[in-house]
C-alpha cells in the first residue's frame, strides 16, 4: 500500500533526490528508513545493516552523480535503502521473492548497481578496477566503495588497499564502522578501529571538517596543512591506512548529514591523486528500537510485526540441521578434548555459537577470512587436534586453493562441516551450495559425505571424529530435518558404504543427499504403475561404494543418480566407474540428475528444486522416459 510520505513519494531516482533542499535531507532519510522497515517486515531479509546506512545512502546519492559516478556496496545486503532511491521503490516489497528484487546488488537489475556483490570484501577490488578503466578512458567520473568494518578485515580487502595505494588512482572508500558485521567483528582490525574511535576526535564539528577537508585541495596554506597532519596523526597514530597510500579522514558520525554532505563534496571535488578513505561511525539497526536492542541488531530477520518487533517463525518443531550438527559436536567434545571448532564470522549461522558457549577456549571465530580458516585448521591438525571447520558451501569456495594445497596434499584430517548445501531459497544463486560435491570429490585423500536426513548427519559426525589420516567433509542443507529419531553418538558408518533403502528389480536410484525423500515419493508413484524400484542412499560421494554400485548396475535395467549438486559431481564419478568396468557394454541405461548447468535465481526451495528438475514428479518422469526410450539415448561405451 502506498504511504503518504512528504518527500519520498516524489523521489524515484537520485535525480529527484538532488532537487530536495539540503535542510530536508534528514526528513528524506527518516522516510526511507520507515519504508525499509515496512517492506522488510513483509518480506523478511537483511534489516539492521541497511538501517545503519540510511543517512549515508541519502548523502551519497545527493552528492554524487549516480549512475555516472559508480557506487559499489560491499556484500550488498545493506543496499535496500539504495534500491528504494534508485528506481526500485515500487518493487521493494518483492525483495528476495521469486521474480522479485535480489537481496543484494545485481548488475542485471539496475544501472545503479555497477557491480554485483553477495560475498564480502570485494568492493575495493572492483572499485579499483572501474577506476583504472576510467583512467584509461579519460573519464572523470567518481568511483565510491562502501565497505564494513567486518569486511575490511578480510585478506582480499588488504590486497586491494595495497594495490590501490600504490596505483595513485583516485577512488573513494567509505569505511562503515558499525562495530557489528553478522557476528561481532574480531581480530586486530577491530581493535585498531576501536582505538581510532576512542580518540574522541570527530570531524563532525564544522571547524574541524573545514580544516581536514581543505587538505583535499592542493591550494591550502602551510599552516593549515601542518594542523591537518597533526590531527590526522592524533587520530590514526600515524598509521595503517595512510601507510597504505590512502588519504584518511575520520571517524565521522555517519548519521549526521551536516557532517557527511560537506565531507563527501570535498572528496568528490578533490584533486588529490590516489585513494581517499573516509571512516564513518554508524549504528546497525539505527532508528528501529527493536533492532537497536537486539544482540545481532536484526541482521537477518523473518517477517515481523513492526509495532512489537516480534518475528513470525515458521512454526515447525522439526530439528534444524545446523543445531543437530552443533549439539552432536558438543557431545563429542565433552569426551574428546582434541575437538575444536572454527568458523569464519558465522558462529550463529553454523551453530558454532552453541559450541563456543560450551567450549569458549576451543572455538575460534577468525572473521571473514575463509582462506585463513582452512589453513589455520590445517595447522591445528598437524598438532594432533581435530578441527571442525564449519563453513557454508558457498563461502568454502573462497578457500579452494587452501583446501587443495594446505589440507588435501598434506592429507591433514581437517573436518569440513559444509552447511547450506544445495539450493537455499531467498538468498538465491550467490549463496547456493551447488559446487562442493564436484570441487571436493575431485581431490585425492578426501572423504566426502552427504546426509540424507538429520539421523544420518549424526552418524556422519560420529564417523568423522575417527578419521585421523585424511580430510573429510559432511554436507547438509539449510532448514529442518524430517523428524526421524536421532541415534547416539556411538553409531557410526563404515567409510565408503552406502545403504539400501528398498529393493526392486527394474530401476536403481542412487541418491546422494536430501533428495532421498523425493526419491521415495517417486518410487511409490512408479510402484502404482507396476515398476519395481531399488533406492540406495549412497552416503558417500567419495569413496564410492563400488561393490554396491556395480552389483546394482548388473541387476537392473536402469540406473539413475540424483544429487543436489552441479554437473561433474557424484553422478560423474559413478559413470566413470561403470565405464571403466565395462558395465555399459552390457546394455545398462544410465542417467544423472544434477542441478542444471545454470544459476537458479531466488525463490522458495520447493520451487527452486522444481526449476532444477529434481522433485519427485520429475524423477518419475525421467525414469519412465529412460525405461520406454522417450527422448532418451542409451549410453554406450565408445
381 and 286 in one domain? no
Q: Which domain holds residue 546?
A: 499-627
Contact 211, 205 (CB under 8 A): no
Look-up of cell digits 558454532: 352
536 and 404 in one domain? no
220 and 333 in one domain? no
Which one from 370, 456, 518, 563 is the annotated catalytic residue? 370
Contact 145, 171 (CB under 8 A): yes
Burial letters for 568-603: b for 16+ Cβ neighbours within 10 Å, e otherwise? bbbbbbbbeebeeeebbeeebbbbbbbbeeeebbbb
Q: Has 284 been annotated as catalytic?
A: yes
Give CA separation, 217 vs 142, 205, 291, 339, 526, in Å: 16, 19, 40, 57, 76
Contact 346, 183 (CB under 8 A): yes
508 and 426 in one domain? no
Domain termination site, one of 442, 475, 508: 475
How many angstroms separate the CA atoms of 251 and 229, rounded? 15
Contact 475, 451 (CB under 8 A): yes
- The pLDDT of residue 637: 38
In a domain, 75, yes or no: yes
| Domain count for the chain | 3
Segment 409-460, tens digit of pLDDT: 999 999 999 999 999 988 888 899 999 999 999 999 999 999 999 999 999 9
127 and 20 in one domain? yes
553 and 515 in one domain? yes
290 and 410 in one domain? no
How many Cβ atoms are within 10 Å of 487's Cβ, its own excluded? 15
Closest CA to 476 of 433, 436, 418, 390: 418
How many angstroms separate the CA atoms of 177 and 618, rounded? 48
In a domain, 482, yes or no: no
CATH number of the structural domain spanning residue 518: 3.40.50.920
Residue 91 CB-density burial (10 A; 0-12 exposed, 13-18 middle, 19+ buried): middle
In a domain, 489, yes or no: no
347 and 226 in one domain? no
CATH number of the structural domain spanning residue 372: 3.40.50.970
Give a three-class secondary structure readout of 209-221.
HHHHHHHHCCCCC
Contact 228, 217 (CB under 8 A): no
In a domain, 307, yes or no: no
Instruction: Round to the nearest angstrom and report the end-to-end CA distance of the chain.
Output: 63
Q: Has 398 been annotated as catalytic?
A: yes
Q: Which residues contact 332 (CB under 8 A, 6 or more apart)?
A: 339, 461, 462, 465, 489
Domain termination site, one of 248, 281, 297: 297
pTM over 0.95: no
Which one from 386, 398, 459, 542 is the annotated catalytic residue? 398
Classify strands 540-542 and 589-593 as parallel, antiparallel or unpaired. Answer: unpaired
In a domain, 252, yes or no: yes
How many angstroms separate the CA atoms of 374 and 380, rounded? 10
Q: What is the DSSP letter of 96?
A: T
Segment 277-327, tens digit of pLDDT: 999 999 989 988 888 888 776 788 888 888 888 888 766 789 999 999 999
- The pLDDT of residue 240: 78
Which run of H or of E encompasses 328? helix 321-335
100 and 137 in one domain? yes
In a domain, 239, yes or no: yes
147 and 75 in one domain? yes
- The pLDDT of residue 619: 97
Contact 239, 196 (CB under 8 A): no
Q: Which residues of the chain register pLDDT less than 50?
A: 1, 181-182, 196-213, 215-238, 632-638
454 and 519 in one domain? no
- The pLDDT of residue 297: 67
* Main-chain dihedrals φ then ψ at residue 490, nearest 5 degrees: -95, -10
Q: Which residues contact 599 (CB under 8 A, 6 or more apart)?
A: 429, 432
Alpha-carbon torsion 122, 123, 125, 126, what sign? positive
261 and 200 in one domain? yes
In a domain, 302, yes or no: no
- The pLDDT of residue 192: 52
How many angstroms separate the CA atoms of 422 and 595, rounded? 9
In a domain, 292, yes or no: yes
- The pLDDT of residue 190: 54
Q: Give 57's Cβ-side CA count (13 Å radius).
A: 27
Which one from 83, 88, 284, 420 is the annotated catalytic residue? 284
Q: Has 370 been annotated as catalytic?
A: yes
Segment 144-159, tens digit of pLDDT: 999 988 888 888 998 9
Q: Which residues contact 19 (CB under 8 A, 6 or more apart)?
A: none
Amino acid at each position: 500500500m502506498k504511504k503518504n510520505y512528504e518527500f519520498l513519494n516524489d523521489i524515484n531516482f537520485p535525480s529527484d533526490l538532488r532537487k530536495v533542499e539540503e535542510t530536508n535531507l534528514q526528513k528524506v532519510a527518516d522516510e526511507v528508513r520507515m519504508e525499509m522497515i515496512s517492506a522488510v517486515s513483509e518480506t523478511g531479509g537483511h534489516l539492521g545493516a541497511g538501517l545503519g546506512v540510511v543517512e549515508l545512502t541519502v548523502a551519497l546519492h545527493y552528492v554524487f552523480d549516480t549512475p555516472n559516478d559508480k557506487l559499489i556496496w560491499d556484500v550488498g545486503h545493506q543496499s535496500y535503502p539504495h534500491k528504494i532511491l534508485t528506481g526500485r521503490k515500487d518493487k521493494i516489497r518483492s525483495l528476495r521473492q521469486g521474480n522479485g528484487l535480489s537481496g543484494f546488488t545485481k548488475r542485471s537489475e539496475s544501472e545503479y548497481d555497477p557491480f554485483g556483490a553477495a560475498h564480502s570484501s570485494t568492493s575495493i577490488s572492483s572499485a579499483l578496477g572501474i577506476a583504472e578503466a576510467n583512467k584509461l578512458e579519460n573519464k572523470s567520473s567518481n568511483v565510491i566503495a562502501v565497505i564494513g568494518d567486518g569486511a575490511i578485515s578480510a585478506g582480499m580487502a588488504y590486497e586491494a588497499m595495497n594495490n590501490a595505494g600504490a596505483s595513485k588512482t583516485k577512488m573513494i572508500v567509505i569505511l562503515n564502522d558499525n562495530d557489528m558485521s553478522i557476528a561481532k567483528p574480531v581480530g586486530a582490525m577491530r581493535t585498531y578501529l576501536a582505538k581510532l574511535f576512542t580518540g574522541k576526535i570527530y570531524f563532525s564539528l564544522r571547524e574541524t571538517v573545514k580544516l581536514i577537508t581543505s587538505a583535499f585541495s592542493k591550494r591550502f596554506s602551510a599552516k593549515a596543512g601542518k594542523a591537518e597532519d597533526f590531527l590526522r596523526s592524533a587520530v590514526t597514530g600515524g598509521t595503517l591506512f595512510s601507510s597504505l597510500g590512502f588519504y584518511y579522514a575520520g571517524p565521522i558520525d555517519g548519521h549526521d548529514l551536516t557532517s557527511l554532505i560537506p565531507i563527501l563534496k570535498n572528496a568528490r571535488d578533490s584533486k588529490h591523486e590516489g585513494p581517499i578513505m573516509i571512516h564513518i561511525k554508524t549504528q546497525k539497526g539505527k532508528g528501529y528500537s527493536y533492532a537497536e536492542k537486539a544482540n545481532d541488531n536484526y541482521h537477518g530477520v523473518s517477517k515481523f510485526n513492526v509495532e512489537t518487533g516480534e518475528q513470525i517463525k515458521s512454526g515447525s518443531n522439526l530439528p534444524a540441521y545446523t543445531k543437530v550438527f552443533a549439539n552432536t559436536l558438543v557431545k563429542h567434545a565433552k569426551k574428546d578434548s582434541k575437538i575444536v571448532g572454527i568458523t569464519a564470522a558465522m558462529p550463529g549461522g553454523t551453530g558454532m555459537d552453541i559450541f563456543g558457549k560450551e567450549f569458549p577456549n576451543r572455538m575460534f571465530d577468525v572473521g571473514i577470512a575463509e582462506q585463513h580458516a582452512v589453513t589455520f585448521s590445517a595447522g591445528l591438525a598437524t598438532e594432533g587436534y581435530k578441527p571442525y571447520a564449519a563453513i557454508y558451501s558457498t563461502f568454502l569456495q573462497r578457500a579452494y586453493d587452501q583446501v587443495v594445497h594446505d589440507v588435501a596434499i598434506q592429507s591433514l584430517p581437517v573436518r569440513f562441516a559444509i552447511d547450506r548445501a544445495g539450493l537455499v531459497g531467498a538468498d538465491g544463486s550467490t549463496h547456493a551450495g551447488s559446487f562442493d560435491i564436484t570441487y571436493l570429490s575431485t581431490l585425492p585423500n578426501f572423504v566426502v559425505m552427504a546426509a540424507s536426513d538429520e539421523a544420518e548427519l549424526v552418524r556422519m559426525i560420529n564417523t568423522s571424529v575417527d578419521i585421523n589420516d585424511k580430510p573429510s567433509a559432511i554436507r547438509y542443507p539449510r532448514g529442518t530435518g524430517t523428524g526421524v529419531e536421532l541415534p547416539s553418538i556411538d553409531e557410526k558408518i563404515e567409510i565408503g558404504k552406502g545403504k539400501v533403502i528398498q529393493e526392486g528389480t527394474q530401476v536403481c536410484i542412487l541418491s546422494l543427499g536430501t533428495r532421498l525423500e523425493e526419491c521415495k515419493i517417486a518410487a511409490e508413484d512408479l510402484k502404482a504403475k507396476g515398476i519395481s524400484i531399488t533406492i540406495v542412499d549412497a552416503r558417500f560421494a567419495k569413496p564410492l561404494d563400488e561393490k554396491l554400485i556395480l552389483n546394482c548396475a548388473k541387476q537392473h535395467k536402469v540406473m539413475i543418480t540424483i544429487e543436489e549438486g552441479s554437473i561433474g559431481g557424484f553422478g560423474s564419478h559413478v559413470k566413470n566407474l561403470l565405464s571403466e568396468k565395462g558395465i555399459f557394454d552390457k546394455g545398462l541405461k544410465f542417467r544423472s540428475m544434477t542441478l542444471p548447468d545454470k544459476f537458479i535465481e531466488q525463490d522458495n526451495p520447493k520451487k527452486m528444486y522444481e526449476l532444477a528438475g529434481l522433485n519427485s514428479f520429475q524423477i518419475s518422469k525421467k525414469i519412465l522416459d529412460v525405461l520406454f526410450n522417450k527422448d532418451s539415448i542409451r549410453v554406450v561405451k565408445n
